[in-house]
Homo-oligomer: A and B are copies of this chain.
Amino acid sequence: MRLTRYTDYAMRVLLYAGAQEDGRLSPISEISRAYDISQNHLMKVVNDLVNAGYLESVRGRFGGVRLARDAAEINVGAVVRHTEEGFDLVDCASCVIAPACGLTGALAEALAAFMRVLDGYSLADLLASRRDLGALLGISDPVGT
């Protein structure tokens, strides 16, 4: 069972932006290097997160992205609902027994339980070890704290 790579990358970008000193801009090139992910792959994800109001983007040589809201206001379940293409755990659309199949209901119930857990987390919760995250990402700490 997997989430899409798109969701994976979206969460990585949000965690990167959230690990920064408040308000500091992260160039996409920097995020790309830190995670060893191509800038092309990241660009689409970043644009989507900007359009969805999770990130704000500043253009130009010293530009980059930063969280558009407080990390506590970014709900993980909402992000995953936004970035996942669909939640069809199995391919019911092509399956002849769909109208009478008990698996559909069981999977829907299981998925609801899964999302209920993610709905209980904010980005701030995931950033509990923010200092360690910053160190792993090579984010410099300009105030030396």
Contact residues of A with B, CB < 8 Å? 1-5, 7-8, 11-12, 15, 34-36, 76, 84, 86-91, 94-97, 99-103, 106-107, 109-111, 113-118, 121, 125-129, 132-133, 135-137
Contact partner, A87, options B1, B4, B116, Cβ 8 Å: B1
Copies in the complex: 2
Chain A interface secondary structure, helix, strand, loop or mixed?
Answer: helix
- Report the minimum CB–CB distance from A7 to chain B (whole Å): 7
A136 adjacent to B34 (CB under 8 Å): no
Contact partner, A110, options B89, B118, B136, Cβ 8 Å: B118
- A96-B137 in contact given A87-B1, A114-B111, A118-B106 (Cβ < 8 Å): yes
Bound: A69/B11 CA distance, A: 43
Task: Please give, as numbers and ranges, the residues of chain B lying within 8 Å of A129 by CB-CB distance.
Answer: 100-102
Contact partner, A95, options B12, B89, B115, B128, Cβ 8 Å: B12
19 contacts between A and B (CB under 8 A): A1-B2, A1-B86, A1-B114, A15-B101, A15-B103, A96-B137, A97-B133, A97-B137, A100-B129, A100-B136, A102-B125, A102-B128, A102-B129, A106-B117, A106-B125, A107-B118, A110-B118, A113-B114, A114-B114
